[in-house]
Structure 1
Amino acid sequence: MHDNSNMSGIRFLLVTILNALITVVELIGGMLSGSLALLSDAFHNLGDSASVVLAYVASRIGLKNSNDSKTFGYRRAEIISAFINSIFLILVSVVLMGESVRRLFHPEAVNGGIMLIVAIIGTIANFGSALLLSKGAKDNLNIKATYLHILSDALSSFGIIIGAIIIQIWKIDLVDPIVTILVSLYILWETWPVLKESINILMQAAPNLDFEAMKRDMLKEPGVVNVHHIHAWQIDENRIMFSAHINLNDQLLSDVEPVYRDLENLLQKKYHVDHVTLQAEVFRGKSNELFTRDRHDI
C-alpha cells in the first residue's frame, strides 16, 4: 500500500462511527415510515461499517514485511478485502431488488415526511464519510471498494430524498421500491469492475502488457537471441511481477550480469514492472514460443 493511499486509523474510525450512527437512524426511520429504501440503505450502511473495519485491518496487514512464509509480503490481504466487500455489495443489491419487485406488485404506504428527514441526515453523513476516504480510493483497490460502499450509500440517500419529496407531494408510494431498484443497479454497475479486478489479481491473471512489444525490445539488447517462457502477474493493483527465460550467446556469467541490468531497467522504466526475474540459457528453449504450453514447464 503506497504511502499516499495509506489511510490513517483516525479516518477509518470516524467513517465507522458515522456509518454506525446512520445505520441506527435509518433502521428506526425505515420502520417508522415503512420505507424499503431507507431500510435497504440502513443495511448497506451496516455492511459499510463492517467493510471499513475489514479494509483497515487488511491495510495494516498489507504493511507487514515479507518473511519466509510470505515471500511476496501481505499485500494480497487488501485484495481479498476488496473481493469480500464487492461480493457483499452485489448480494445485498440483488436481495433488495428482489424485495423491491415484490413491493411494486404489493405497494405499502410510506410516510414521506419521516423518510425525507432521515434521508437528508443520511446523505450528509454518507458524503462526509466518502470525502474522508476519497484520497486513498484513487490508488488502492481495497480503499476503492470501501469508498464505493460509502459513495453508493450517499447516492442512495440522495435518491431517497427525491423519492420522499415525490411521495410527500404526490403520494406515489411506488417511488420507494423504484428508487431502491435504481440505486441497486448503480451499485452493481460500480462494483463489478472492482470485483473483476480483484478476481484477476487473485487468479494471477496477466496485467495489461504488450508482451510482443516487450519481446521485441528485449531482443534489441546485444547478445539476446530469444525470449520465451514469459509469466507476468500482480501482487496488488500497483505491483507487477515479471519472469522470463532468455537465450544468450555462450559467454561468461560476469558478462551476463550487465545484460540482466539493462533488461531490468528497460522493463521497469518502459513497462512499469516492479520485480524482474530472468533465467539465462544458451540452447535450452531456444526455439520455444513466448508463452509455455506445457503444464509441467510452469
Structure 2
Amino acid sequence: MHENSKMSGMRFLAVTVLNALITIVELAGGLFSESLALLSDAFHNLGDSASVVLAYVASRIGLKNSNTSKTFGYRRAEIISAFINAIFLIVVSVFLIAESIRRLTAPSPVNGGIMLIVAVIGTVANFGSAWLLSRGAKGSLNIKATYLHILSDALSSFGIIIGAIIIQIWHVDIVDPIVTILVSIYIMWETWPVLKEAINILMQAAPNLDFEAMKRDMLKEPGVVNVHHIHVWQIDENRIMFSAHINLNDQLLSDVEPVYRHLENLLQKKYHVDHVTLQAEVFRGKSNELFTRDRHDI
C-alpha cells in the first residue's frame, strides 16, 4: 500500500509539473498567435493543475482512518474533489462556448504556424499526463474526474492541431472558435456522468440494485418472515452500505446470530455490499413495506 501511494504521489507530481509547463507555453502561444483555442486550452490546463493537486490531497485525506468525528472515514473527500473538478470543467466549457460564439460574429486573424507548434507540444504533453493517470482512473471517481480533465485537454490540443493546419493552408480563421466550441461540448458530454455519479453519492442515492430480488433471497433464509425498512447508500463509488429490519420467529438471540451471518454472506457475495447492518424484530413492522414512507421512521 505504501509503494502504491508513493507511486501515485510521483505520478500526480509529474502530471502537475507537465500541466504547469503546458499552461505557460500555451498562454504565450495563444497571445502571440491570437488563438482563442490555444488560450482556452491554456486555461483548461491551468484548471487541470489545480484539479490534480486537489485530487491528490483528497486521495491522501481519503486514506485516513475513521474516528469519533468521521465514523465512516474520509472516503467522501475524493467524491467532493470529483464534484468540484466536474463543476469547474462544465463552467469553463460554458464560458468558452460563449466567447467562441462572440468570435464567430467577429473573427480575428490567427497565426496558424505558432498555433500549430504549440498545439503539437500540448498534445504530446497532455497525452503523456493522461497515460500517467489512466491506471488509477478505473478504480477512483476522483482520479477519473482528473483523468477526464487531462484527456479532454489532450483531445482539445489535437483538435487545435487540425484547426491550425486548416488556418495555415486555407486561412479560414473562423475554424479557431469552431474547434473551441466542439471541444467544449465534448468535454461537457464526458464530464456529466462523473458529476451525476458524484451528486448521487453525496446525496446518498441508492446504487443500482434489484431490491425486490434482495428481499426474495433474504426471505429464503429459514426463520426470516419479512424484510422492511431498507436503506442502501454508498460511501464512495466502490463501497455499498446496507441496513434493514428483519422479522424473525420468536427465538433465542444466540439463534439469531447465525441468521445474521448467512444474510451478510449472501448480501456481500451476491450483491457486493461492503457493510451490512440488520435489526431483528418479531412483531414490530411485520406488515411494513420494503422502504419506509414515514419521515419520522428514518
Q: How far apart are the structure 1 equivalents of 2:13 and 2:273? A: 35
Q: How far apart are the structure 2 equivalents of 1:57 and 1:103? A: 38
> Are positions 1:259 and 2:249 aligned together?
no
Partner of 2:129: 129
Residue 250 of structure 1 deviates from its aligned partner by 0.1
Quickly say closer, same or farther: Cα 1:289–1:211, change in 2 above 3 A. Answer: same
Residue 217 of structure 1 deviates from its aligned partner by 0.1
Q: How far apart are the structure 2 equivalents of 1:211 and 1:257? A: 23
Partner of 2:224: 224
Which residue type is aligned with residue 112 of structure 1?
Answer: G
SS of match in other structure, 1:288: coil
Which residue type is aligned with residue 280 of structure 2?
Answer: A
Contact 1:231 1:242 in 2 (8 A): yes
Partner of 1:272: 272
Quickly say closer, same or farther: Cα 1:25–1:144, change in 2 above 3 A. Answer: same
Partner of 1:75: 75
SS of match in other structure, 1:120: helix
The residue correspondences of 1:97-108 to structure 2 (distance < 5 A) are: 97-108=97-108
Which residue type is aligned with residue 277 of structure 2?
Answer: T
1:185-229 CA distance string (max 9 Å, x none): 000000000000000000000001100000000000000000000
Q: How far apart are the structure 2 equivalents of 1:221 and 1:161? A: 63
Residue 105 of structure 1 deviates from its aligned partner by 0.5
> Are positions 1:85 and 2:85 aligned together?
yes
Q: Which consecutive segments of 4 or more residues in structure 1 shift more than 2 A?
A: 3-7
Q: How far apart are the structure 1 equivalents of 2:219 and 2:7? A: 42
1:3-22 CA distance string (max 9 Å, x none): 97996211100000000000
Residue 139 of structure 1 deviates from its aligned partner by 1.1
Q: How far apart are the structure 2 equivalents of 1:33 and 1:127? A: 23
The residue correspondences of 1:30-49 to structure 2 (distance < 5 A) are: 30-49=30-49
Moved more, 5-14 or 66-75: 5-14
> Are positions 1:152 and 2:152 aligned together?
yes
Q: How far apart are the structure 2 equivalents of 1:6 and 1:267? A: 34
Partner of 1:206: 206
Partner of 1:192: 192
1:241-284 CA distance string (max 9 Å, x none): 00000000000000000000000000000000000000000000
Which residue type is aligned with residue 123 of structure 1?
Answer: T
Which residue type is aligned with residue 245 of structure 2?
Answer: H
Which residue type is aligned with residue 18 of structure 1?
Answer: L
Partner of 1:287: 287
Q: TM-score, normalised by structure 1?
A: 0.98
SS of match in other structure, 1:245: strand
Using the aligned pairs only, state the percent identity.
88
Contact 1:5 1:137 in 2 (8 A): no
CA-atom RMSD, angstroms? 1.4
